[in-house]
Amino acid sequence: MTHVINNHPYLGIFFLFIVTVGAFNATLFLARLISRKLAKLDTEKLKLTIYECGPEVTKQPNAISTQFYLIALLFILFDVEIIFMFPWAIDFKLLGWFGFAEMILFILLLTLGFVYAWKKGALEWHSIK
Amino acid sequence: MDGTMLPEVTAVGVIIKAILILAVISAIAGFGTYIERKVLAFMQRRVGPNHVGPYGLLQLAADGIKLFTKEDIIPQHANRLIFAVAPAITAATAFIALGAVPVFPGFTIPFVDVYVPSIASDVNVGILFVLGMMAAGLYGPLLAGMAQSNKWGILGSARTAIQFLSYEVVTGLSLLAPIMMVGSLSFVDFNNYQSDGTWLVVYQPVAFILFLIAGYAETNRTPFDLLEHEAEIVSGYVTEYSGMRWGMFFIGEYANMITIGIIASVVFLGGYNDWWIFPGWIMILAKIAFSFFFMLWVRAAWPHVRPDQLMWLCWKVLMPLAVINVVITGIVMMAG
């Protein structure tokens, strides 16, 4: 297998973007047209409310537990550092022992933060009670 | 670069490739739902779909007709625009990710002499692009859950978000060790690195297992499919969806399963290289088919995990293991 010779390597992604977005939105449009023709249409109030058992609900707030935000913060911390490691991994043989030692230092700092988060209980799932 | 020169790729070839990817992979993704039901049925000693067509093969068409003719409900309090667009985001990003992956071997269309390459775009940051595009697919479930103003939806999308974000870290770290060995992010270089017949999984068994686990979590496969856990959160972020909009999420999910299968095959399992008497294209099809089957097998074999177990597994077991794997790979490569 060889590399494809192409002056504009990102052209395919651009075309794929156009083709997929166009095709899927066309499918949704078509499905909407067909269902308007064939499916039972009634705009009864209870049917159009959101799924819930019991009382008729008006609108539910988009509020979630802070635990989710904590995990998202951890993700930002660790994933950005992994992005730093990608260029190093590519040039690993070129950078040699010096690069390796630097990356070990970086990983040690990362581990320090990780241990701190662990000890603080950020990785535990706290119950509401 | 070996001796055989490939013909130059024209814009027409790339467009044909893009349409081919969309047509073939969405057909396979649709067919995958049938395969999944059949395989799960056999593993549970049932028959599975067998009424529509021979062996139930036309089930796919019947499902399509059902999805198209269902009423397209948008609930009262939903944010209509975002609610309508979110399914298309999931499906589109799943297919755009396939743009940088070698999907089938390249070929030349006989009479008009147009060369269709094996990769729609052979970018030099292939793996990073695919991971990034799959991560962008997270916006589909996230927006879908937040637009419907329903607590099941918002819980489902919050779960999707943390599951995807957490396992994204593991995917990145598990792929780092092979990247260190190959020294490139391009799938073609990964393929050529293994052309001597030794698959990378031999050198990197830990990375392979970590990648598979994280890949299953990213594609919402069963041990980790908490976002659609019927007993807890009804149907997660797809609670309010009906008809084709609902189906769109599943096309995206199956396309992502195929993408994970292709990455696993090309990065760890030898890719397109010939093996024994089998040519490369049969090998890659067999590997992708097996990795797809393996996902169904895992679904039949393992129960769900709890959300706290999921986070525990990711942050306290898989991530430290992945970092240790990277460090050990570095030491072995430097010493050897």
Q: Give the tens place of pLDDT for each residue, B258-305.
A: 888 888 888 888 777 777 777 777 888 888 888 889 888 888 888 888
B69, A39: Cβ pair inside 8 Å? yes
Tell me the whole-structure pTM to 2 decimals. 0.87
Helices (H), A39-122: 45-48, 66-90, 92-120
B110 by DSSP, 3-state: which? coil
Q: Is residue B4 part of a domain?
A: no
Check CB contact under 8 Å for B76 and A50: yes
For residue B100, tell me if it sits in a domain.
yes
User: Per the CB < 8 Å rule, is A89 touching B155?
Assistant: no
**Cα(B119)–Cα(B303) distance, integer angstroms:** 37
The residue in chain A having the minimum alpha-carbon distance to the alpha carbon of residue B308 is A125
Mutate which of B5, B173, B175, B180 to disrupt the A interface (most A C-beta within 10 Å)?
B180
Contact state of B330 with A100 under an 8 Å Cβ cutoff: yes
Contact yes or no for B121/A10 (Cβ under 8 A): yes
**In terms of CA atoms, which chain A residue is nearest residue B128?**
A86
Question: Is A16–B243 a contact, with Cβ atoms under 8 angstroms apart?
Answer: no
**How close does chain B come to A64, measured CA to CA in Å?**
7
- B99 in a domain, yes or no? yes
Instruction: Answer yes or no: are the C-beta atoms of B272 and B191 closer than 8 Å.
Output: yes
Asked whether residue B27 is assigned to any structural domain, the reply reads: yes
Q: CB-based contacts of B25: which residues, under 8 Å, 6+ apart?
A: B95, B98, B103, B255, B258
State the smallest CA–CA distance between residue B234 and chain A in angstroms: 9
Query: Cα(first)–Cα(last) distance of chain A, in Å?
Result: 58
Residues of A in contact with B230 (CB under 8 A): none
* Least CB–CB distance from A35: residue in B70, B106, B191: B70
Task: Quote the pLDDT of residue A4.
Answer: 64
Q: Cα distance from A129 to chain B (closest Cα, Å)?
A: 16
Cβ of B14 within 8 Å of Cβ of A93? The answer is no
How much is the pLDDT for B88? 87
Contacts of A56 in chain B (CB under 8 A): none
Work out the minimum CA distance from A109 to partner chain B, whole angstroms.
13
Regions of chain B short of the pLDDT cut 50: 1-3
Cβ-defined contact of B327 to A104 (cutoff 8 Å): yes
pLDDT value of residue B3: 44
Nearest CB partner across the interface for A16, out of B96, B118, B280: B96
Burial of B256 (0-12, 13-18, 19+ CB in 10 A): buried
| pLDDT at residue B5 in the model | 58
B6 found inside a domain: no
Is the CB of A82 less than 8 angstroms away from the CB of B327? Answer: no
Q: Which of B102, B118, B131 is nearest to B262 (CA)?
A: B102
Q: Is residue B5 part of a domain?
A: no
At residue B296's C-alpha, the angle toward residues B292 and B297, to 5°, is 110
Facing A1 at nearest CB: one of B172, B188, B327: B188
Q: Quick check: A23 pLDDT over 70?
A: yes
Question: Does some domain include residue B309?
Answer: yes
Q: Smallest CA–CA separation between A19 and chain B, in Å? A: 7
The residue type found at B179 is: I
Tell me how far apart the alpha carbons of residues B12 and B18 are, in angstroms, rounded to a whole number: 10
Read off the pLDDT band of A40 (50, 70, 90).
confident
- Contact assessment for residue B148 and residue B240, using Cβ atoms and an 8 Å cutoff: yes
* Residue of B315, B317, B321 best to disrupt the A interface, most CBs of A under 10 A: B315
Nearest chain B residue to A104, by CA: B327
B154 vs A28: CB contact, 8 Å cut-off? no
**Which burial class, exposed, middle or buried, applies to A108 when counting CB atoms under 10 A from its CB (0-12, 13-18, 19+)?**
exposed
C-alpha triplet A74, B98, A31: angle, nearest 5°: 100
Quote the domain boundaries for residue B214. Answer: 11-335
Of B1, B21, B243, the CB nearest to A2: B1
Which residues in chain A are closer than 8 Å to B155, comparing Cβ atoms?
64
Specify the 3-state DSSP secondary structure of B334: helix
**Is residue B2 domain-resident?**
no
DSSP 8-class letter at B264: I
Number of residues that this document lists for chain B: 336
List the 162-221 stretch of B: residues with Cβ below 8 A of A.
162, 165-166, 168-169, 172-173, 176, 179-180, 183-186, 188, 191-192, 195
Please, what's the b/e burial string for B184-213 (b: 16 or more CB within 10 A of its CB; e: otherwise)? bbbbbbbbbbbeeeebbbebbeebbbbbbb
Query: Which among B14, B122, B161 is the nearest to A3, CB-wise?
Result: B122
Domains in chain B, number: 1
Provide the shortest C-alpha distance from residue A70 to chain B (in Å): 9
